[in-house]
Amino acid sequence: MRILTPDLAPEEIAAVTSVVAAMVEEQRAAARESAAPEDRWRRSTGPLAPDPRGSGAWRRALR
């Protein structure tokens, strides 16, 4: 960070680092929350049967 922002004082760098870390954690939490319903659905339905149309066809069908 010091190389990217040579004019900032150490306490300013610490503040910026803290804010960025909080933003990253918020994004990670949001991603986990949005993935949770899909994960629960996948666990409840069990493994998918092989698709007779070939490997990966079921993924393309879900798009």
Query: Tell me: the pLDDT tens digits for 37-46?
Result: 776 666 666 6
Q: Is the pLDDT of residue 4 over 60?
A: yes
Quick check: is 1 in a domain? Answer: no
At 63, the pLDDT band (50, 70, 90 cuts) reads low
pLDDT digits (tens, 9 = 90+) for 6-60: 888 889 989 989 999 999 999 998 888 877 777 666 666 666 655 555 666 656 6
Cα–Cα distance measured from residue 34 to residue 40, given in angstroms and rounded to the nearest whole number: 11
Q: Tell me the pTM.
A: 0.49
- Dihedral angle, C-alpha 55, 56, 57, 61, nearest 10 °: 160
Quick check: is 3 in a domain? Answer: no
Domain span including residue 29: 10-61
- If one counts the domains in the chain, the total is 1
Quick check: is 2 in a domain? Answer: no
